[in-house]
Structure 1
Amino acid sequence: MASQFAILAIVALVALPSVSLATQWTVGDDNGWTIYYNYTDWAKDKVFRVGDSLLFNYQAGYHNVFKVNLTDFQACNIPPAYEALATGHDVIPLMTPGVKWYICGIGQHCANFNQKLRITVVDNTEGPALPPAAPTPSDSRAK
């Protein structure tokens, strides 16, 4: 019985470092989701993982959040209004790895005020996090 407990304790200690807690990232930190803020700089040193979430804080009615594809991100194409998240405290779970794009659909906030966010989500099963990849030519046009 004691040896079973010892084996279980060893297994738990070995597995413990590989367990990671999900992070809820507040987009823009204290600035929130707003105009005149550089979300590229905000995201560049962060490692977003599957299971994490994004929290978009803003004053409802003044901003909103749309999850878009690369083409819509680059052109600031606004999806139909019914697709908007608009509570002012929107949480988006990051459920799959890959590149994700978000924009504000109010007025010209995306096109004229750069209210847009591009992140890369990595799988939790991947090894140690690598620094974010350098922007691609298409990403640099989207800034």
Structure 2
Amino acid sequence: MEMAKILQVFVCVFMVAVAVEVSAENHHVVGGDGGWSPALDINSWLSGRVFRVGDKILFTYDPATAESIVELQSLEDFESCNLANPIKMYTDGTSHVELDKEGTRYFTSGNLESCKKGLKLPVPVQAHSEFDPPSPFLLPPPFGPFDPPFRPTPHFGPPPPEAPSASTHLNGLSYVLFVGLALCYMGV
């Protein structure tokens, strides 16, 4: 009986550790529902966001409009829109980027005119701190072979009301872990 209690406590501690680790990532959808386009207000979108190692960025854009994403090597290339020597180009319309190390990463439009008009995104990536509260984990939107491609739609009239940020939704796994912990606590 004593061994069963020890095993139960071990399983509960393990589940908490997994929940904290899983919840440490955020998925940032650049531009929200509007995606990556010349209409994107980068400063508003960046306001209050913190990017950490392990987070992911999702760019959605319409390649038919000559938009693409270019990751540049330096602040100088970023500021001058020098697209001649990119680290990587993203052209598929749905680009996932993992933030795998500290430092600032520089993303711009692959369209020189859009870049010169300000369609560029600096992403300062910070390390996790032991004092960081866990962030909610987000599932990226489903993009599979049967999903419709991203197509920006014109908006007429007043802007739609603000929807909750994509970085505020909890992952279903967190719910399952919570229920599992509750069951462990009750001794089920």
What is the TM-score with the length of structure 2 in the denominator? 0.59
Shift of 1:126: 4.4
User: CA distance change for structure 1 residues 98 and 83 in 2, over 3 Å: closer, same or farther?
Assistant: closer
Report matched runs for 1:45-60 at 5 Å: 45-60=48-63
Shift of 1:7: 4.2
Shift of 1:127: 2.4
Shift of 1:107: 3.2
Return the index of the structure with the highest Cα Rg.
2
Give structure 1 stretches of 5+ with no counterpart: 130-143
Aligned to 1:33: 36
**1:88-139 deviation line (CA, Å, top 9, x unaligned):** 111111111221111012131111x21001122122344227xxxxxxxxxx
Give the distance between the partners of 2:15 and 2:56, measured in 1 at CA. 27
User: What is the SS of the residue equivalent to 2:28?
Assistant: strand
> Does structure 2 retain, via aligned residues, the 8 Å contact 1:56–1:89?
yes
Give the distance between the partners of 1:120 and 1:83, measured in 2 at CA. 18
1:99 to 104, 114, 118: 104
Which consecutive segments of 4 or more residues in structure 1 shift more than 4 A?
none
Alignment size in residue pairs = 128
What is the TM-score with the length of structure 1 in the denominator? 0.75
> Does structure 2 retain, via aligned residues, the 8 Å contact 1:53–1:94?
yes
> Does structure 2 retain, via aligned residues, the 8 Å contact 1:53–1:92?
yes
1:44 to 29, 34, 47: 47
1:89 to 94, 108, 111: 94
> Does structure 1 retain, via aligned residues, the 8 Å contact 2:107–2:122?
yes
Alignment RMSD (CA, Å): 2.4
User: CA distance change for structure 1 residues 46 and 88 in 2, over 3 Å: closer, same or farther?
Assistant: same
Aligned to 2:79: 74
User: CA distance change for structure 1 residues 16 and 41 in 2, over 3 Å: closer, same or farther?
Assistant: same
User: What is the SS of the residue equivalent to 2:58?
Assistant: strand
Structure 2 counterpart of 1:37, one-letter code: L
Aligned to 1:124: 128
Give the distance between the partners of 1:82 and 1:10, measured in 2 at CA. 44
Structure 1 counterpart of 2:92, one-letter code: T
Give the distance between the partners of 1:126 and 1:103, measured in 2 at CA. 32
